[in-house]
Amino acid sequence: MAETIKTKVLIIGAGTGGYVAGIRCGQLGLDTILVDGGDGLGGTCLNVGCIPSKAIIHAASKFETVSKAAAGGTLGITAAKPAIDLSQTVAWKDGIVKKLNNGVAALLKKSKVKVIKGWAEFSDAKTCTVKTADGDITISAEHVILATGSEPVELPFLKFGGDVISSTEALSLPAVPKKLVVVGGGYIGLELGIAFRKLGAEVAIVEMADRLLPLYDKALTDPVAKWLEKHGVELHLGARAGSFEKGQLNVTTKDGAAIQLKADKVLVTVGRRPRTRGWGLENMGVAMAGPFVKIDDRCATSMKNVWAVGDLTGEPMLAHKGSAQGEVVAEIIAGHDRRFDPVTIAAVCFTEPEIVSAGLGPLDVEGRDDVITAVFPLAAIGRALALEAGDDGGFVRVLASKSDHRLLGLQAVGQHVSELSNSFAQMLEMGAVLEDVAGTIHVHPTMGEAFHEASLRALGHAIHI
C-alpha cells in the first residue's frame, strides 16, 4: 500500500556521511528520515570497505607472524606451520561488521531518526519514492541531504562476475586463491594484494602508471615497492590489462609485448566513481562538477535546501571527509553558522608499510625555495625498533614555511604510522609552527617521537641523529 510522509530532513544513503548527518540532525531536534538503499547502515566503509578490509589485513599480518615463527623462528619464538581457514576469518570479519551495524542502528534510534530500508528515486528536488519490501513510500522534505557514496569502477573488458571480482567480493572469498592478479596499483589494490600475499597467495599487480601509488612521491612509495619485491609480488608497471579467458589475464607490457598471467581470481581496483545513477539525480536540477555533484563551502548544491556530502561531492573520497561534511550540514539546517573548510584531510594507505599524508607534499612545492623539508628515519626511534618497524626504510617528513615556520605538510611511511595521522591533521588544522611541535614533550617510547625529531631537525637541532 502506498504511503506518503513529510519530514524536515531527508537523507539518502546510510554511509559515513549519511548516518553521521542523521545522528547529528536527531541530536539537534530535527525531524529526520534516513533512506538506506545500499550496503547497509555504515555504507561501503563499514560493510565492504574500510572496516572489513582492515580486519582482513590484521588477520593476514597475524598469519604472517606465525609463518615467520614456523620458518626458523622470530624474536626467539618458534611455532608449527600455520593453516588458514579463510571462511572462518571472513565469519569473524562479518561479526565485527554486524556489531558495528547494530551500533549505528542503536545510535540512530537514540537520536529518533526514522530509517527506511529501500531504494529511493526522486521525481523532483524534494520528493522521492522509496521502494521497500512492504510497498512504495513517497517522501517529501524541506531539506534533502544526498549521501549516496561511490561504487567500484568496472572495466568494459573485465566485467565483474565469476572469477573477476571487486574489493567487495575479495573481502568475502571462501578460500585464499592460489594465484591472484590485481588490476590497479592504487591503495585498494595494494592493501588487498599485500594481505593475500601474506596469506599465501601468489600475487601479481598490473598498473598502467610507471610506478605504484602514483599520487604519492617516490620516497613514500619506495618502502612499499621494496616489501613487494622482497615478498615475491610480481609487478607489471606501465602495463595494460585486457580480457580474462580460460584462467589467464591478457596483459600488454610497457614494451608492447603481449603476455598472459595465470589467475584463479582477478581483482579489479582501478578506482571508484560517485553513485549518481539509478535514483533520479537527473530530476533534481542540481549542477554537476564533472562526475560529481557541485557544492559550495556549506555543502549546498545549486538547488535551495538540497545538500550533498561524501564521495558524491568529489575527492578526496574518504569516509572521514563525509562524516565531517554530514555534521556541518546538520548544523547549518539547524540554524548554526558553519562552513566546511578544513586545512587538511589526512589520508592513510594501509599497505606494508603504511603511508600517511596530510597537507602539501614534495610534489606540491617543487621548485619553491621558501620551504624547509626535514626527514627523520624510524630506524633511529627505539619504539620502532622494538616493534620491528625500523628496518623498512620508514621515516617521518615535515614541510614548513621558511619565513614563519608554519607547518605546510606532513608525511610518514612505516609500520604503525597510521596512528600518527590524527596528530598530523591536528597540528595542521590548528596552524602550528615547528616550535609548537618541538615544544610539545612527546611520550617515550612511541612512534610519535619521530614527528618531534623531524620538527627539531627542520629547526636544525635534532637530538637523535
Beta strand segments in 58-175, E? 114-117, 119-124, 127-132, 135-146, 150-152, 164-165
Nearest to 361 by CA among 311, 424, 420: 424
Q: What is the pLDDT of residue 179?
A: 98
User: What three-state secondary structure class fits 33?
Assistant: strand
In a 13 Å sphere around the CA of 98, the CA atoms on its Cβ side amount to 6
Nearest to 268 by CA among 162, 175, 352: 162
Enumerate residues 6+ apart whose C-beta is below 8 A from 322. Answer: 15, 16, 17, 18, 20, 147, 149, 309, 310, 311
3-state helix, strand, coil in the chain (%, to 5): 30, 30, 40
CA dist 181 and 16 (Å) reads 30
Q: How far is CA 78 from CA 18, 69, 84, 199, in A?
A: 48, 5, 18, 18
Whether 444 sits among the annotated catalytic residues: the reply is yes
User: What three-state secondary structure class fits 327?
Assistant: helix
Residues 353 and 417: beta-carbon distance below 8 Å: yes
Beta bridge partners of 152: 272
Q: What is the largest CA-CA distance in the chain?
A: 74
Nine-digit cell string for 179? 594465484
Locate cell 607472524: which residue?
65
Distance, CA of 347 to chain centre: 7
Rounded to 10 deg, the angle between the 16-27 and 319-333 helix axes is: 30
CA dist 34 and 9 (Å) reads 8
Nine-digit cell string for 429? 588544522
Phi, psi dihedrals of residue 349, rounded to the nearest 5°: -105, 120
Residues 148 and 312: beta-carbon distance below 8 Å: yes
Beta strand segments in 290-359, E? 292-293, 306-308, 347-349, 354-359
Q: Which pTM value belongs to this model?
A: 0.96
Nine-digit cell string for 83? 593453516
Is the torsion defined by CA of 64, 66, 71, 77 positive or negative? positive
Q: What is the pLDDT of residue 242?
A: 97
Q: pLDDT 10s digit of each residue in the chain, 465 long? A: 578 999 999 999 999 999 999 999 999 999 999 999 978 999 999 999 999 999 999 999 999 999 999 998 789 999 999 999 999 999 999 999 999 999 999 999 999 999 999 999 999 999 999 999 989 999 999 999 999 999 999 999 999 999 999 999 999 999 999 999 999 999 999 999 999 999 999 999 999 999 999 889 999 999 999 999 999 999 999 999 999 999 999 999 999 999 999 999 999 999 999 999 999 999 999 999 999 999 999 999 999 999 999 999 999 999 999 999 999 999 999 999 999 999 999 999 999 999 999 999 999 999 999 999 999 999 999 999 999 998 899 999 999 999 999 999 999 999 999 999 999 999 999 999 999 999 999 999 999 999 999 999 999 999 999
Task: Tally Cβ neighbours within 10 Å of residue 430.
Answer: 10
The residue type at 442: H
Residue 367 Ramachandran class (φ > 0 left, ψ -120 to 50 alpha, else beta) = left
Q: What is the pLDDT of residue 366?
A: 94
Write down the catalytic residue from 231, 236, 444, 452. Answer: 444
Looking at residue 406, the DSSP 8-state letter turns out to be: B
User: What three-state secondary structure class fits 19?
Assistant: helix
CA dist 400 and 354 (Å) reads 23
Tally the residues of the chain: 465
Residues 305 and 286: beta-carbon distance below 8 Å: no
CA dist 463 and 465 (Å) reads 6
Phi, psi dihedrals of residue 135, rounded to the nearest 5°: 120, 180
CA dist 3 and 135 (Å) reads 8
Q: What is the pLDDT of residue 106?
A: 98
Q: What is the pLDDT of residue 73?
A: 79
Residues 213 and 350: beta-carbon distance below 8 Å: no
Q: What is the pLDDT of residue 131?
A: 94
CA dist 363 and 361 (Å) reads 5
Residues 281 and 124: beta-carbon distance below 8 Å: no
Task: Tally Cβ neighbours within 10 Å of residue 140.
Answer: 15
